[in-house]
Amino acid sequence: MITKKLKNNWSLFHEDGISWDEDLSFLKSPPYTQSYNWGRYKTQTGWGVIRCISTKGGNIKTMAQCFYKNYFFGFTLVLCPGGPVGDLSLVNQDFFELIKRATKAKILYIRVRPHVLYNLDDFLMLISSGWKKPFFLYSKGWTMVLNIANNEWTSRIKRNWKRNLNHSDSCELTTRVMSPISSSKIFSLYGQVEEYKKIRQQFSEKQIDEILKNNKNRIIVVEGRDSEDKTIGIRAAIMFNNEAWDLFAATSDSGRQTYVSYALFIALLNECKKHNIALYDLAGVDPISNPGVYSFKRGTGAELYDYLGEFEMSTSRLVGWLVNFYLKNIKK
C-alpha cells in the first residue's frame, strides 16, 4: 500500500519487508543499512523508521529508508545511511517535504549518505537540489572493497600482511563459524578492545543482541580459538544481495599477540564465498584518525573506494550549524 503521493511521485511505503527488499534489489548496489531488517533493528534502539519511494512511468526509481528521532520544540533529526538508493536526481525538496510531513516535524534536519561512488554529475545534482556538505562528517566516505568472486585478490595481498598471516598459522589457532552466535562473547571481546585502545563503548550488549536477532541468516560470525580452546577473537560480516560488509571485529590481548585477526579474516571470506558473495566491503577507513585499521585493510589488497559521502538539508542554516556542532561534540 502506497500513500500520500507528492507531485514528483514520492510516496510512503507500507508494504512488508519482503516487498521492500525485493524492490531494493533491482536498484544499483543497495547496502545492508537500507534493508528492511536493518530498519527493524533500529526500531529496537529508539529510532523511528520511514520508508519511501519515488516512481517514474510506474517503475520504482529511488528508495530511501530513513531513521528519525523527535526532540523538543518540534525538532526532528533524520539520518539515511547508505541512501537514498537509485536515481539521485529525484532526491530533492519534495523528498524533504515528504519526510517533514511523515515525521510531523516543525524543525527538520536530514543527513543522507548515498552508497554511490564519487562522481561530479551526482555531486552537482545534489548540490543543485539544495543539499549541502556538512562541516562535520561522521565518516570520510572512504572504504576498501575486495572482489572475492575469484581468487585473484590473493595475489594483491601485501608482503607484511602475508607474514602476519603465516605467524597466526604457526600459533596453533583454530577458526570456525560460531554457532550458536553468542552476543555476550562478542560484547566481552569488544570490552577488551575498548580498554586496550582507551576508546568509548562501540556496542552495548543489547545492540549486539538486537542486530543478531533482527538479521538472522544474514550474519556470519567466525571465532578464533587458542590451543586451550578459548575464544580469543571474532570477526563478523552482514550480507545483502551478493555483497557483504564488515560488521564486528574484536580480539583479546592474546589474540593480538598471535595475530588471530589475520586468520579470522581469511576464514570469514571463505564462508562468504560459500554464500555466493562477490564483493566484500571492509566498512570504512580513515588513514589519519585510525592508521592501524587502515594498514590492516590496505594489506589485504582491497581497492580504495571514494563515495559521494554525506549531504544535509534543514529548515534553516542555523539548524544545520547547531546539529553539526552537537554531533561533533558528542562524538568526542
* CA–CA separation, 193 and 88 (whole Å): 39
Mean pLDDT of 23-34: 94
What does pLDDT average to over the chain? 91
pLDDT of residue 4: 47
Written as one letter, the residue type at 209 is D
Residue 308 CA to residue 136 CA, distance in Å, equals: 15
pLDDT number for residue 327: 76
What is the pLDDT confidence band of residue 330, given thresholds at 50, 70 and 90? Answer: low
Predicted TM-score (pTM) of the model is 0.90
What digits encode the pLDDT tens for the residues 30-49? 999 999 999 999 999 999 99
- 161 — pLDDT class (breaks 50, 70, 90): very high
Q: Could you report the per-residue pLDDT of 196-208, keeping only the tens digit for each?
A: 888 888 889 999 9
pLDDT at 3 over 60: no
User: Is the Cβ–Cβ distance between 250 and 223 less than 8 Å?
Assistant: no
pLDDT at residue 5 in the model: 47
Please give the pLDDT value at position 36.
96
pLDDT band at 231 (very low <50, low <70, confident <90, very high): very high
Using an 8 Å Cβ cutoff, are 116 and 122 in contact? yes
Residue pLDDT, tens place only, 166-176: 999 888 899 99
pLDDT above 90 (res 146): yes
**CA distance to 63, 254, 277, per residue, from 239 (Å):** 19, 29, 8
Cell triple for 20:
521492500
pLDDT tens for residues 264-275? 999 999 999 999
| Residue located via cell numbers 585499521 | 293
- Pair 102, 290: CB distance under 8 Å: no
The total of other beta-carbon atoms located within 10 Å of residue 37's CB is 20
Give the pLDDT of residue 186: 94
Concatenated DSSP letters of 212-241 = HHHTTTTEEEEEEE-TT--EEEEEEEEEET
Domains defined for the chain, CATH in brackets: 2-139+307-330 (3.40.630.30), 143-306 (3.40.630.30)
Mean pLDDT, range 232-247, rounded to an integer: 95
The percentage of residues in the chain with a pLDDT greater than 70, rounded to a whole number, is 97
- Backbone φ and ψ of 159, nearest 5°: -60, -45
Identity (one letter) of the amino acid at 36? Y
Average pLDDT over residues 317-331: 80
In tens, the pLDDT along 92-103 reads: 999 999 999 999
Q: Which three cell numbers stand for residue 311?
A: 549531504
